[in-house]
Structure 1
Amino acid sequence: MYRLVRDRSGQSTTIGVALMLAIAAIGVTAVVALGGTALTDSQTSVDIQRTEHAMTLLDSRGAMAALGESESQEVTLSGSGDGSYRVASDSGWIRVVHKNFTDPTPSEEVIFNRSLGEVRYTRDDAVVAYQGGGVWRTQDNGTVMISPPEFHYRDQTLTMPLVRVDGSGSASGRVTAEVTPLATGTDVQRIFPNETASTADGPGAPYDDAGDTSYDNPVTNGTVVVTVHSEHYRGWATYFTERTDGFLSVDHANRTASIELRTLAGAPGAFDMPLVGESLETPSVARQHNVSQFELQLAPDSSNANAFNQLHWSMYYQGTDGQQFEIHFAGQGRCDSATADGFTKGSTELSVSVYYRHNSSAPSEEWERVLSDPHVQTRPVHVDCSTGAPRLDADLTSSFDMEYTDIDIQGSDNKWHFGNEIKDQDVPDELTFDQHADDPGDDYDEGSDSEELGFLVNHYFSRLGPDFQLTVDAGPGGSQNRVSEEASTGVLMYDTIDGEEFIQFLHITENEVRVELNG
């Protein structure tokens, strides 16, 4: 007997073919889907790149119109139906503020505060914009600068032809933009310097809280702060960082980027002596021993013979970082017209001391010189009794030798501003100056080595700088009335620091253009 067995080979072949067709279908679908996505991404990327080139051309033509080089310009803007152009005159703003121009009194002058406006192209999550004379691409929470704005900073001069966009409307596809200046030639609005403008309180000359009637260069005192509010603020922040060494701050919550430039104020020159408790400002001091002249002429509170007896008078600095510095004069004796040299002999002396401490944990550095005959006129530091009205003359940038030693404080330590620190601190046995290129790198041994007063002033000014102030102080009781600050004078000259974080000259113009889109 034979068993009949069914042949299943035909069925297996059919199933295999079906599976292969299914897999192929899935693969084709995936390829089509992925390929379509890649093609779309590629088309978007190409579209954005074309738009960037078109916006850069708009930037160039817009600058020609805004800066008065052309009456009008027409630019063809590329784009696709998936993206659109729009003019928004109220998009973003820029503000320029001069802070503390009456320093140390707090003050703030808003020099300029207007909207920027923009021409923008939007496709999906990408935005390409012409704003502030620059071109920016913002995408994925980041901004790239395609073309820089019309800001220039060089040699402490900030030039800001502020390009503002006016207009409205939108268009898509192949679009043309007509750019027309709203002012030409001499009609361009000059903001700073401005010798003729006179406005009410608010942006524009004159300064609201000062007697100035105009905006003049060079700008002095305080800081100049430029703030931009924009969707593209990250790009503005990058631009500020690359083009200046000012103090950058970014506020992500408010979408602002600010750059702060300090004014490059010069040395005081000849000055009237500040009163006790008041200060002499010493801004922008260069750090490499550049003090060329520092002289004091201290007049007594009266012309009597006892002038400067029991004298204690100083100029000091107390830094927020713990730095301390003091130049102190102490005197005993009286002028006497009966003697040949005009000074009572054997009972007169004048001491000069210099104190410095880098911070609260650093040792004190102390220098002193005691003169038993301060009436000798040939010395850089002396008391002049020859004119009938005694005067203390001190050349603080002279070769007058000062000994490295503990300052001898006799009696109450409140006669020095930092008397308590001086009295409680012993100077190190050895001191080395090596903080600056002009320092010799030599060691000073306590009690046996000396240094010129002019060198010490240069060294410590370089350590205190670039910005500090010297405050006048006097001892307690009768010694506080030995010097008449109202009748005293001084001269201080030094080289100022050379750095890109400073500003001396500010040139601002408002350059407005109207943009009309035709699609």
Structure 2
Amino acid sequence: MRQTTDSIRSDGRTNDRGVSEVLGFILVFAIILGSVTLLSMTGFQAMQDYQEGEQLRNAERAMEAFAENANDVMRYDGIDTRRGELSLQEGTVRTSDGGTKLNITIEKTGSTVDIPEDEFSSYGTGDTVNIGEFTYIVDDDRIAYEGGGVVRGDDSGSVFLKRPQVRCDDETAVISLVTISADDRSIQSSGQVGFTISEVNRTSKAYSGVAEVSIDVDPNSQNSDAWNSTLDDWSGGNDGTCSLGGGGQVVVTLTEVDIEY
């Protein structure tokens, strides 16, 4: 029988030993390469998530600044035009005269007053006020100027970052809302886009001898969660109904604006 032995190299090591060292080197190199690849992938995802988060935070700040400019049109009689800018960063801005739908009802002693009525009728259909919308959209997230406030939402819900101007106390309720009458359109851009807000119409009316005033939100509205939460706080946990005891006063102001870009 022929006996085989490991061949001996001049340096005294066997060939099998050299093969083992090569395999070990390949294994270590593969581990290092895999680790680098994994870290680069997770690091890239983390960086992408950070950039998207920062993009939304910048959009929030820009929309809040935009809201301040737009609300000046509602607050001051001498101002009927304001201008603002948003950095879209590949996001999309959309305007519409639809948006959230509100029903404002005033209960007086022995009677009910629906808003809109008479001069308010141009702001909606029947008893519904159409708030309209000015919305920034990136992926599944949205930030909107709506009713004078700023709301952030996604598929899971919505919340106001800056609340609309509604106030309720023991004797007085104030409802000041901005409605948007802009055409349905959208624009996507990677840079700055300028917008002009112009007053179209303003209607204000005071009601005395009021028992309560309620604001109901259309449940099918995209940002109904944000409105319901805000109106629940507004009414002291009374489901959007502000109780005034029968001798209260309510002031309703609706300012219609157009947004061009």
State the one-letter code of the partner of 2:29. Answer: L
By how many angstroms is 1:58 displaced? Answer: 1.1
Higher strand share: 2
Distance 1:3 1:95 in 2: 96
Partner residue, 1:80: 89
Match of 1:262 among 221, 243, 246: 243
Kept in 2, the 8 Å contact 1:84–1:123? The answer is: yes
SS of match in other structure, 2:177: strand
Instruction: Give 3-state SS (helix, strand or coil) of 1:217's partner.
Output: strand
1:232 is aligned to 2:223: yes
Q: Contact 1:150–1:163 (CA<8 Å) still a contact in 2?
A: no
Post-superposition shift, 1:94? 1.4
Q: How does 1:85-484 map to 2 (within 5 A)?
A: 85-99=93-107, 101-102=109-110, 108-112=112-116, 113-139=128-154, 141-168=156-183, 169-172=185-188, 173=190, 174-183=192-201, 188-190=202-204, 192-193=205-206, 216-220=207-211, 223-229=212-218, 230-248=221-239, 259-265=240-246
**TM value normalised by structure 2:** 0.82
Look up the equivalent residue of 1:71 and give its one-letter code: D
Name the larger-Rg structure. Answer: 1
- Rounded to whole Å, the distance in 2 between the matches of 1:236 and 1:69 is 29
Aligned twin of 1:386: none
| CA gap 1:99/1:244 in 2 versus in 1, 3 angstroms | closer
**d(CA) in 2 for partners of 1:100, 1:65:** 31
Give the distance between the partners of 2:63 and 2:148, measured in 1 at CA: 11
Identity score, percent: 23
Q: Give the TM-score of the pair, scaled to structure 1.
A: 0.43
Distance change >3 Å, CA 88–CA 27, structure 1 → 2: same
User: Secondary structure in 2 aligned to 1:218?
Assistant: strand
The two structures, once aligned, show a CA RMSD in angstroms of 2.2
How big is the shift at 1:143? 2.2
Letter in 2 for 1:14: V
Deviations 1:419-477 (A, max 9, x none): xxxxxxxxxxxxxxxxxxxxxxxxxxxxxxxxxxxxxxxxxxxxxxxxxxxxxxxxxxx
2:109/2:246 contact within 8 Å kept: no
Q: Distance in 2 between matches of 1:263 and 1:154?
A: 8
**Conservation of the 8 A alpha-carbon contact between 1:88 and 1:166:** yes
Gaps of 5+ in 2: 8-13, 117-127
Unaligned runs of 5+ in 1: 194-215, 249-258, 267-503
- CA deviation profile, 1:335-389 (whole Å, cap 9, x unmatched): xxxxxxxxxxxxxxxxxxxxxxxxxxxxxxxxxxxxxxxxxxxxxxxxxxxxxxx
Q: Do the aligned partners of residues 101 and 111 (structure 1) sit closer, same or farther apart at CA in structure 2, a change above 3 Å counting?
A: farther
- Displacement of 1:127: 0.9
Change (3 A) 1:514 1:50: same
Equivalent-residue separation in structure 1 for 2:48 and 2:78 (angstroms)? 41
Provide the C-alpha distance between the structure 2 equivalents of 1:118 and 1:227, rounded to a whole number of angstroms.
18
Distance between the aligned counterparts of 1:146 and 1:69, measured in 2? 27
